[in-house]
Structure 1
């Protein structure tokens, strides 16, 4: 039978059990590997293993009696990320028996090591998101190639983090009915489209206001990820910064001018906070450093057809004459122009219909109601 040694995220039992599929009869024991160390991968929520001096000891789990199906599932989960199995000898705890096994090593030069890895820190910050992401990954087992999963993985992780936030953030019911997920019965679900974005379809019934369950209906939604919306405002100069870029939504709708004026916006990466994302997106799209972030009400822009959820901010910052320019992430084919304009000009653009992006309009109206107070206390 097969055996493997795990030192990182797969030491988290909920993740390991999910990847194995819940039917494995393997044996799991604490173990350690000498002359090796695990480090966080720089700018990533997972570790890497590397050789070290003889005094180093890397703790983890030895998983024995793995079936060929178990190994196939594990290889699928790890395979798209340029990991390969290498032979090692580990010491099983607590009796000290030496066992020949294998461990996943990253391709040389693939990652840059950071600080020493901590499983407990990872579990606290990334555990729930990673288990959620693994559900979508393993749904592709036997249907999607591992390298394709690797290409999709940043958005898979973004969607997973969105689902975790949806479960854990406050959800008051002072006016709306006190129904919850237990009042929805999902009969089946599928993804008729899954690439960078996905479409999900569900056959379900839901509790009606009468208390009875509805008939089973077929519904679908565009599955994006949570996003930040940022309108930079200089209260001293009374200026805002808006960006302009080509957009596929207007293009597919048939808009004769599919270049839109918008606020800074972008997906919240897996493991990122909305505030961190706002600052990152401002730097990427407009080369702009933000001061204070003022959080507006998070919201669904189109709940009838989309999972997208927005975290909007007014961002106080310095907007001198030379703050406008060209930005965007070249590797993502972004071509973004920023405009620094007086606040009154923004309202004129909204009134004329030239600025017709919903999140920009909402942020501008909030700013119109609170702008004088921000200028007085800046």
Structure 2
């Protein structure tokens, strides 16, 4: 037994749930230490990178993120990201198919789960499921743009994989989950004429 929970307080239960937990933690030397941590529970999520090997392109979305905008007033708040969403009551595969259709208009059926990750385990409980899927011109059944009632106003952006990797290198793509998927695509999906991973000089 490594943890003994002593007290849990709900600090906020508005958009999602913020809790403060006081607990005893048994250290490696056997001594018990009392700690207190705040955790933000927004549920788990899924994210996907659509890619086209023949055209060497990927699909991202541009949308406004207030936390990015509100941090010190140094960012316009618009981020280029891979389509993503919270699972709610769905499986990761079910949710990401629906999310990518809402955000991009593309409908994909054969999604491949590539890995999972805790994105901010120091404070956020969310586990993110990462997917990739191939697309082509026939995959697009709508315009995308997100759900207006949820405040979404999403622009669909198609980028060359090398251009996307260059945008990671120079800071134009700053979203962590998107960087992880682009680097996975460069290493595992795309190769240049020499057979090396795409954007080798930028990884």
TM over 0.5: yes
**Separation in 2, partners of 1:330, 1:367:** 31
Q: Which has a greater percent of helix?
A: 1
Distance change (3 Å), C-alpha of 1:319 and 1:209: farther
Question: What are structure 1's unaligned runs of at least 5 residues?
Answer: 1-181
SS in structure 2 at match of 1:335:
coil
Find the residue that maps to 1:276 and give its secondary structure: helix
Which structure has more RCO (C-alpha within 8 Å, separation ≥ 6)?
2
Aligned counterpart, 2:145: 327
Pick closer, same or farther for the CA change 1:289–1:243 going to 2, 3 Å: same
- Aligned residue for 1:225, secondary structure, equals coil
Shift of 1:329: 0.6
Deviation of residue 283 (structure 1)? 0.7
CA pair 324-250 structure 1, distance change in 2 beyond 3 A:
farther
Q: Is the 8 A contact 2:106 2:144 kept in 1?
A: no
Check 1:357–1:238 CA distance in 2 against 1; reply closer, same or farther (3 A cut): same
RMSD after superposition: 2.0
1:365 aligns with 2:183: yes
- Could you say which residue in structure 2 is the equivalent of 1:250? 68
**Structure 2 gap segments, 5+ residues each:** 196-203
Aligned 1:10-159 pairs, distance under 5 A: none
Are the counterparts in 1 of residues 106 and 142 from structure 2 also a CA contact under 8 Å?
no
2:165 to 347, 350, 353: 347
The equivalent position to 1:208 in structure 2, one of 27, 32, 40, is: 27
Pick aligned residue for 2:9 from 179, 186, 190: 190
Query: Does the aligned pair in 2 maintain the 1:325–1:337 contact within 8 Å?
Result: no
Query: What is the Cα deviation at residue 349 of structure 1?
Result: 1.0
CA distance in 2, matches of 1:227, 1:280: 13
Q: Are 1:318 and 2:124 an aligned pair?
A: no
Cα distance between partner residues in 2 of 1:256 and 1:237 = 32
> How many residue pairs end up in the alignment?
190
- 2:56 paired residue number: 238
TM-score (norm. length: structure 1): 0.48
1:177-203 residue CA offsets vs partner (Å, 9 max, x unmatched): xxxxx4211110011111121211011
**How far did 1:325 drift?**
5.2
Larger Rg: 1
Alignment correspondent of 1:89: none
Q: Which of residues 100, 115, 119 is equivalent to 1:301? A: 119
TM-score (norm 2): 0.87
